Amino acid sequence: MNPTEFDRLIHTQANQALSVPSTPAYVYSEAALRALSQQAALIAERAGCELLYTLKACALVPVLETLSSHIHGFAASSVFEARIADSVRRSGQSLHCYSPAYSPDDIESTLALADYMSLNSTFQFDVASALNSGATSLGLRLNPELSFVSDPRYDPSRPGSKLGVLLSGLEKIVRMPDGLEGVHIHNNCESNDLSQLAQSSEALSDTLKRIDNLRWVNLGGGYYLGPEMDTSPLEQVVGRLRSDYGVKVFIEPGTALVQQAGFLVTEALDVFPDDGTDIVVLDTSTSHMPEVFEYQYTPAVSRPEADEGNPTRLAGRTCLAGDIFGDYDFQDPVRTGERIAIVDAG
């Protein structure tokens, strides 16, 4: 599917979502999920790596079942996610687990399900290693100490990060932990530039050479995998890892497979003017999209906007004054009773 066909599909799906029987409704498009996962699977296949889906982006079972046809496995970041993924995975699909910290009980429960488990520190690795029967391949999450994300709240490599063992710290360890078979990185967020992944992978090379029984490298998520992307850096990275170390390589996107397939469909309950702006109170709330409130970003919506359009504020119906989706310049004014889809809500 080329980028134009893809945009057309998402647009059609958003319009179809508007006809749900009642609102507010959180709607996933099966067609969009299939298109997104097929596209990512194509990229992974061309690069020679396995495609996992990371549940933290959306863990709804019907969504996982739809994605399941095009992926090699699932990545879970808690015991709960691991149980959900285990309940939907098909034969041959692997389960990969990682969390910034597990209790000893969580480690036991996770080891019982996971094919691959990445630990966030050498201490956690040693606990998992002592409890592992040998059925789970253990790895360490490493922090390549390369920041690509301007907002430190999203930057896994921010100074003082809790995420992964610092490469510079690992260099000081004389011997790598016994039983270490894998390396996991994830240091980007919503990036379109896979050359950043190439830089991160390059930063690992001295460390990878020191691991005697290296079997796999998980390159994490954090990248969109749209049809317009230059995927050659991924192909080079995977090719080099496979030829230099003979390892299996995984990528584990979340957002890329679901974000554009989800729509929050709402209805305008009331519209009234305030100082030149139409205030539209919707039958939903930003509580269903916490990132909108916490990070103050304005989500895209299904209505056409225009340069000199009608200034409109879309607000949620709760008593919180800041329950606001955003300010828009719509081509036409919103009418009471009209339905609006918040797009990219998956």
Ligand X SMILES: Cc1ncc(COP(=O)(O)O)c(C=O)c1O
Binding site residues, ligand X, CB under 6 A: 54, 56-57, 75, 98, 186, 189-190, 220-222, 252-256
Q: Which is nearer to ligand X, 33 or 256 (CB)?
A: 256
CB distance 252 to 44 below 8 Å? no
Q: How far is the CB of 242 from ligand X (least distance, A)?
A: 21
Q: Which is nearer to ligand X, 256 or 292 (CB)?
A: 256
Which two three-digit tokens encode residue 251? 């990528």
Q: Which is nearer to ligand X, 40 or 314 (CB)?
A: 40
CB distance 285 to 317 below 8 Å? yes
Q: Which is nearer to ligand X, 218 or 286 (CB)?
A: 218
Q: How far is the CB of 114 from ligand X (least distance, A)?
A: 14
Q: Which is nearer to ligand X, 143 or 207 (CB)?
A: 143
Q: Which is nearer to ligand X, 89 or 186 (CB)?
A: 186
Rg (CA), the chain: 22
| Positive or negative: CA dihedral 156, 226, 75, 213 | negative
Q: How far is the CB of 137 from ligand X (least distance, A)?
A: 17
Q: Which is nearer to ligand X, 229 or 256 (CB)?
A: 256
Of 260, 272, 259, nearest to 315 (Cα)? Answer: 272
Q: How far is the CB of 116 from ligand X (least distance, A)?
A: 12
Which residue type does 12 have?
T
CA distance 10 to 202: 36
Which two three-digit tokens encode residue 66? 């739809």
Q: How far is the CB of 276 from ligand X (least distance, A)?
A: 38
Q: How far is the CB of 88 from ligand X (least distance, A)?
A: 18
Q: For helices 232-245 and 30-47, what crossing angle results, to 10°?
A: 50
Q: Which is nearer to ligand X, 143 or 284 (CB)?
A: 143
> Residue number with the shortest CB distance to ligand X?
221
Q: Give the H/E segment covering residue 206.
A: helix 205-209
Q: How far is the CB of 294 from ligand X (least distance, A)?
A: 15
Terminal C-alpha separation, the chain: 20
Q: For helices 122-131 and 104-111, what crossing angle results, to 10°?
A: 60
CB distance 107 to 150 below 8 Å? no
Q: Which residues contact 92 (CB under 8 A, 6 or more apart)?
A: none
Q: How far is the CB of 155 from ligand X (least distance, A)?
A: 11
Q: Which is nearer to ligand X, 188 or 285 (CB)?
A: 188
Q: How far is the CB of 141 from ligand X (least distance, A)?
A: 7
Could you please report the per-residue DSSP string of 237-297?
HHHHHHHHH--EEEE--SHHHHGGGEEEEEEEEEEEEETTEEEEEESS-GGGSHHHHHS--
CB distance 258 to 33 below 8 Å? yes
